[in-house]
Amino acid sequence: MAVKAPPAKLASIQPISSELEVRLRKRFFNPEGSFNLNVHFRALAGFTILFGASGAGKTTLLDCIAGLVDPGDGRVSVGGADLYNAEKKLSVPAWKRRIGYVHQDLALFPHLTAEENVAYGLRDLNASERRVRAREIMNAFRIDQVRDRRPGQISGGERQRVALARALVTEPSALLLDEPLAALDRSTKSLLVGDLRKWNQNHRVPILFVTHNSEEVFALGDEVIMLEAGRIVAQGRPHEVMRAPQLETIARLSGFENVFSATVRAQNEDRGTMTCRLGGGKLELETPLVRAEVGSNVRIGVRAGDLLLAIEQPRGLSARNVLPGKILRLEQRDVIISAMVNCDGTEFEVHLTLGARDALQLVPGKEIWVVVKTHSCHLMGT
């Protein structure tokens, strides 16, 4: 069920167009050293994804917007009204900003029930209105069955929903979500994404959504802002940004050690796959089918941990891609062996265990087969 529009009394104090504008500069010191946060962007109503590796400054940026950290220089405004303005020496305290913030660790109040947690931010309303509003949103987020339980007694997914509902029920003028889906399994995640989208249709406010998961970028993003070491390196619609060359660093950081540019050769609609030719070489990969014309360029990301190596040509495998190659070099990183394999001019990075290296007697120069499952190939920028 959809979340109902807020009562007129509250709706009237909401700005009609609540654009979030952020211009911040701050020097930060963290355990890995110092870096400069230097960003300027506008977020319109709807989802804006903040994408970047950990340590890129995403959480610090959200803390500055929420008023929990003093940036020292710059300006933050929602709907034209300043929340922070260094020139005017203006800083609205966090508790007066009306910005919803769901932190990665959720921070549910352990001594309150789920319903009391949700109703916590509604202190301007009387008790019965509070209950009506809290129950309404708990219903919409499918957590009405855990109303009277405390955070310690409900599942991780339910806790995540309670934290979201608690922030959303206050009708914030902007919403900051710091990896709110990180701990969820895929099906719970997509349900929650649907609920969030539904809520956003009735509440047109800017939502800044932090993630380092590229799937979430495509699932949610109206707009993506890519952050690297405190700076915006790319901004735009997901498919534009993900096609940009800057993507490579981000994609690698977010777990795709292998990113190839490829050309679509054939669409096998009956099998739900397509054939792509990698780079300039002759190597072909069978990948999941996406809407892309034959001859168009795509980028394919493959995680090094999703690849298999075989010392003989394997038979009777379900994996569609078995590519002959040669080991270029082996590097040990902690307990992981990273093998670089050259397959007809294309280099693959493959991660394996120390045991696998010893059992297969892998050494540089050895002839080898790389096995790639179709569904390990993630298409980007289509």
Partner 1 sequence: MNWGAFWLTVRLAGIVSTLLIAIGIPIAYWLTYSRWRWKFLVEAMVALPIVLPPTVLGFYLLVALGSRSPLGRWWESLTGHTLAFTFEGLVIGSLLYSLPFAVQPFAAAFGAVDSSLLRASASLGHSPLQTFRRIVLPLSKAGLVTGFALSFAHTLGEFGVVLMVGGNIPGVTRTISIDIFDRVQIADYHSANMTALVLLVISFLVLSVVYGLNRRPWAVGPWR
* Shortest Å, Cβ 70 to partner 1: 13
Q: How far is the CB of 111 from partner 1 (least distance, A)?
A: 5
Element (H, E) at 367: strand 367-372
Quickly list DSSP for 20-75: EEEEEEEEEEETTEEEEEEEEEEE-SEEEEEE--TTSSHHHHHHHHHTSS--SSEE
Closer residue to partner 1, CB minimum distance, 67 or 301:
67
Q: Closer to partner 1 by CB, 118 or 264: give it.
A: 118
Beta-bridge partner residues of 173: none
Least Å from the CB of residue 164 to partner 1: 12
User: What are 311-314's contacts with CB under 8 Å, separation 24+?
Assistant: 311/360, 311/361, 311/362, 311/366, 311/368, 311/369, 312/369, 313/369, 314/369, 314/371
Residues near partner 1 (CB under 8 A) are 66-68, 93-101, 103, 105, 107-111, 120-121, 123-124, 166-167, 170
Min separation Cβ 322 and partner 1, Å: 49
In the complex, what is the shortest distance from the CB of residue 10 to partner 1, in angstroms, rounded to a whole number? 13
* C-beta closer to partner 1: residue 105 or 367: 105
User: Where are the strands (E) in 135-279, listed by range?
Assistant: 174-178, 206-211, 223-228, 231-236, 258-268, 273-278
What is the CB-side half-sphere exposure of residue 223 using CA atoms within 13 A? 14
C-beta of 28 vs 120, nearer to partner 1:
120
Q: Tokens 């509902």 sit at which residue?
A: 165
- Least distance to partner 1, CB of residue 157, Å: 19
Token pair in block for residue 306 = 């999703």
Q: Give 66 or 274: the residue with its C-beta nearer to partner 1.
A: 66
Nearer to partner 1, 133 or 299 (CB): 133
SS3 96: helix
Write the single-letter amino acid at 330: L
